Structures are given as structure tokens and as C-alpha cells.
Amino acid sequence: MEDELNYATATFRKNCISAYEQYLTFCFKRVCFCLFSVEIKNKAHQHLVLHVVAASLAVICVALVSIVIVLIIQFNTVISGQQRENIKLMARNEQLCADKADLERQTEELTRDRDQLNWTIGVILEYEKFPVNDLCPQKVCKPCLDGWVRFHLKCYLFAETLYYYNWRSWDGSRSKCREIQADLVVIESQEEQEFINNHTKFYNDELHGYWIGLSTKNVLGTWEWIDGSNLTVSYWKTQKAGYRVSCGLTLSHGDPLAKWNKASCDMKNRWICETKSLLN
């Protein structure tokens, strides 16, 4: 009897321990389940957050790409507009440059015409009686009268009379020049002297030449041009003294830069007249 009681008691304790273990197991499983559930929920939340972030980033990227595309389109539009405007401005600038060049050309032409007119008026005013029919036939003016030779801004008449009785003294030659609104030539440069050399001809003998506007007929007895200017350049054939009152003539032979000779003013020679060209 006592043995049976002990056995029953032992059996009860064993059953109690098993129930307790089952309870602990159940609790452990519940805890594990809860923890697993929490972990799943956390992962689900994390996935959701990641999806939201990814979606947000995707939206932002799309927005940025769209903005960049819009900016590129606008930039290209602006650049294209500026290029077209630059092309228009360049064309306008070229046109303005062409207009400017044309205006400058017209200004130069008008300036030349004005200077020409002023020069012509000045020459006309020097005439006591302007030979309009001779210098401006058919209302078109020419620089020099027929038979005259133009050189720079002057006209020259080389008297080519063949016979002695048509030759003149220095004063007579000057009078002939004045009759046609001119005067004896005043030589101002080597270039002008060379021009005269090319248009004078040998005649009669080596002593004869062409009277020029040079003499010693002033108070001091020094060489002076008829316009009152001093002798600054000279092309004398000889440096020997001439007559007490001498006049200058240019010869048609010898050294081109040693053509001047001193002669008596009463000697009969040909002559060279000079006047301003009507046109400059």
C-alpha cells in the first residue's frame, strides 16, 4: 500500500514537470513567433521605406531629367536665336560698312569736286578777260588752251617761232606772255626743269635758248624770279658773271641740269610762258 502511494506521487511529479516544460516550450515558441513577427514586420517596414525612397528617388531623377531636357531645349532655342541674331547683326554690319565706304567715296568725290571748283574759280578770277570760248568750248572746260602743255597744276607755252624777226627780247617775251594772261616761266624744282628740257628744241646756234622769268632787274642787282621769290635752286651752265643787267634763259642742249645761261636782256630769243591750269 505504501509502495503504491509512492509510485503515484512520483508519477504526478513527472507529469507536472512535463507540463511545465510544455508550457516553457510554448512560451518560447510564442516569444520566437513574436520576435519573428516583429522581425518580419520590421523587414516589411524597411522594404516599404526602401520602396518609398526608391520611388521618391525615381521621381526626383525623372524630374531632374525632365528639367535638364527642358533646359537643354531652352538653351538650344536661345543659342539658335542668338546665332540667328548674330547672323543678322553681321549682315547688318557688313551692309553698314559698305554704306560707310560708299559715303566715304562720295565724300572724297565731293571734296575733289569742291576743291576743283574752288581752284577753277580762283584761276578764272585772275583773268582780266576769261577766254571762256577757248577754255570751255561746249560748256566743258579743259585744263589748258590748245597748243599749251600741261604739267602738274600749270600750263606751258613753248614759243616755236622759226624766224629771227619773231623772236623777242626778255621784256618783249614777257609782254607776249602777258597778252595771253600768262607770264614767263618760274622754275621751282628739278622735276620742272627736266620737263622743260624735254620740250625745248635746238635752234639757230648754241647761244640761243628760251627766256625764263629770271633776271637781275631789281634794285640790288641780284637774281630774282618775276614773282619776287629768291633763287633757291639753279641750273647754271657757267658761274661767270653776266652783264650788269642780265636775264636768264634755258638752253636746249648740254647737261640737263646745267642749262641756264646769262645773257643780255635785249638779245632776241624764243620764250616759255606759264599759267595756272584751269583744272587741278
Q: What is the pTM of this model?
A: 0.62
Q: Tens of pLDDT along 169-226?
A: 999 999 999 998 899 999 999 999 999 999 999 998 889 999 999 998 877 778 999 9
Whats the size of the chain, residue-wise?
280
Q: What is the CATH number of domain 132-276?
A: 3.10.100.10
DSSP 184: E
DSSP 230: B
Which neighbouring-strand residues pair with 269?
168
Decide if pLDDT at 159 tops 90.
yes
Q: Which residue has the cell 641780284?
A: 222
What is the pLDDT at residue 5? 45
Q: How many Å apart are CA 260 and CA 201, to the nearest integer? A: 14
What is the pLDDT at residue 37? 63
Per DSSP, the three-state class of 146 is coil
Average pLDDT, the chain: 83
Q: Which of 206, 210, 164 is nearest to 185 (CA)?
A: 210
Backbone angles phi, psi at 90, to 5 degrees: -65, -45
At 218, list the grid cell.
631789281
Per DSSP, the three-state class of 194 is helix
Backbone dihedral region for residue 86 (phi beyond 0: left; psi -120 to 50: alpha; all else: beta): alpha
Q: Tens of pLDDT along 125-154?
A: 777 777 767 777 777 778 888 899 999 999
